[in-house]
């Protein structure tokens, strides 16, 4: 069981792994290996659900060397050396105007809205990839009880901060964008800030836990919001409270 490598033009190679290796984290493990020992001429690495796109300057790279490295990683991704990732907490206001699809999602899944929220907040999700739009994270995987396909008709404009589920994953819209996922809530966290380094809040491999902002007795929690003194203060207050509460 090994991945395959295909040309994506003369300046990129696409490595794809079979489902089992992909689910075990092969794309992120291979990316981490290529970051630890970078090859001259490699410009960009784009991890995705079951693949890694390696972009390079064809006039600067040693193609034979690169191909040999990738063949190795395709066959034996160093799964034991998966990047640790950071823990990120994202507060969400579920349902109502912030999550207009929550009730419909619950009906489709034969759950109550409360059960959907409980399942969504109980599951630690990993950032599988960033794509679609700057800073848009694909998080997985959701428990089978929350699996449902995309909406039949996509929305023309999904508000920024919307937290949405589809195809076993959660996505968060960094800005107002068209979208076909089911909107179950909304967050105030800034997902993409071109002036920040790195600009995207979430990186592949990070572990995300969603918390129900409303359940915190109206106290607003803005854990991930950067460049916002008040947000940072709120987050600190919360850490203390968590500590006190045990």
Partner 1 sequence: MDRFALAAANRLVGNRPDAPALELTAGGVQIRFGAPMLIGLAGADLDAQLDDAPLAPWRSAIAPAGSVLRLRGRRGDWGGRAYLAVAGELAAEWAVGSAGTCLAGGFGGYQGRALRAGDRITVEPRSCTAADGMRWWPVGRRPAYCAQPRLRVLPGPQHDMLPEAWEQLLKTAFQVDQAASRQGYRLAGATLPTHQLSLPSFGVVPGAIQLPPDGQPILLLADAQTTGGYPVIAVVIGADLPLAAQLLPGDRLAFTATDLATAHAALAEQAAWLAAGPEDDESGQLLAWAGSW
Chain residues in the site for partner 1 (CB under 8 A): 6-12, 14, 16, 46-53, 55, 58-59, 129-134, 138, 175, 192, 194-195, 199
Q: Pick between residue 47 and residue 95 the one whose CB is nearest to partner 1.
A: 47
Q: Pick between residue 152 and residue 195 the one whose CB is nearest to partner 1.
A: 195
DSSP character for 191? -
Long-range contacts of 163-167 (CB under 8 A, 24+ apart): 163/90, 163/92, 163/99, 163/187, 163/210, 164/101, 165/105, 165/120
Q: Pick between residue 195 and residue 243 the one whose CB is nearest to partner 1.
A: 195
Distances (CA, A) of 188 to 50, 54, 173, 197: 30, 33, 11, 19
Q: Please give the Cα distance from 1 to 21 (Å, whole number).
A: 8
| Minimum distance from residue 168 beta carbon to partner 1 (Å) | 11
Q: Pick between residue 9 and residue 245 the one whose CB is nearest to partner 1.
A: 9
Q: Which residues of 109-143 are buried (b: 16+ CB within 10 A; e: fewer)?
A: bebebeebbeebbebebbbbbbbebebbbbbbbbe
Q: Please give the Cα distance from 151 to 37 (Å, whole number).
A: 42
Sign of CA dihedral 176, 181, 183, 186: negative
Q: Pick between residue 96 and residue 178 the one whose CB is nearest to partner 1.
A: 178
| Minimum distance from residue 97 beta carbon to partner 1 (Å) | 24
Q: Which helix (H) or strand (E) holds 93?
A: strand 87-94
Distances (CA, A) of 209 to 5, 185, 246: 34, 14, 18
| Minimum distance from residue 34 beta carbon to partner 1 (Å) | 13
| Minimum distance from residue 52 beta carbon to partner 1 (Å) | 7
Q: Pick between residue 83 and residue 131 the one whose CB is nearest to partner 1.
A: 131
| Minimum distance from residue 243 beta carbon to partner 1 (Å) | 37
| Minimum distance from residue 205 beta carbon to partner 1 (Å) | 16
Q: Is there a cis peptide before residue 147, judged by omega within 30 degrees of 0?
A: no
């Amino acid at each position: 069981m090994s991945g395959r490598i295909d040309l994506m033009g003369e300046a990129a190679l696409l490595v794809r792994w079979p489902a089992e290796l992909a689910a075990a984290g092969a794309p992120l493990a291979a990316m981490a290996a290529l970051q630890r020992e970078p090859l001259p001429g490699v410009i960009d690495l784009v991890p995705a659900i079951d693949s890694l796109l390696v972009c390079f300057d064809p006039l600067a790279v040693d193609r034979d060397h690169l191909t040999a490295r990738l063949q190795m990683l395709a066959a034996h991704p160093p799964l034991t050396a998966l990047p640790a990732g950071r823990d990120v907490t994202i507060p969400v206001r579920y349902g109502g105007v912030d999550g207009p699809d929550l009730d419909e999602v619950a009906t489709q899944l034969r759950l109550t809205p409360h059960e959907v929220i409980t399942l969504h907040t109980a599951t630690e999700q990993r950032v599988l990839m960033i794509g679609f739009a700057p800073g848009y994270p694909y998080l997985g995987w959701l428990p089978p009880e929350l699996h449902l396909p995309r909406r039949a008709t996509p929305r023309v404009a999904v508000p920024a901060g919307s937290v949405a589920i589809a195809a076993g994953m959660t996505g968060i819209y960094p800005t107002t964008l068209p979208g076909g996922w089911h909107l179950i809530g909304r967050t105030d966290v800034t997902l993409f800030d071109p002036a920040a380094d790195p600009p995207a809040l979430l990186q592949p491999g990070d572990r995300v836990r969603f918390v129900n902002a409303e359940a915190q007795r109206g106290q607003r929690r803005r854990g991930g919001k950067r460049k916002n003194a008040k947000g940072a203060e709120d987050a600190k207050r919360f850490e203390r409270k968590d500590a006190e509460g045990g």
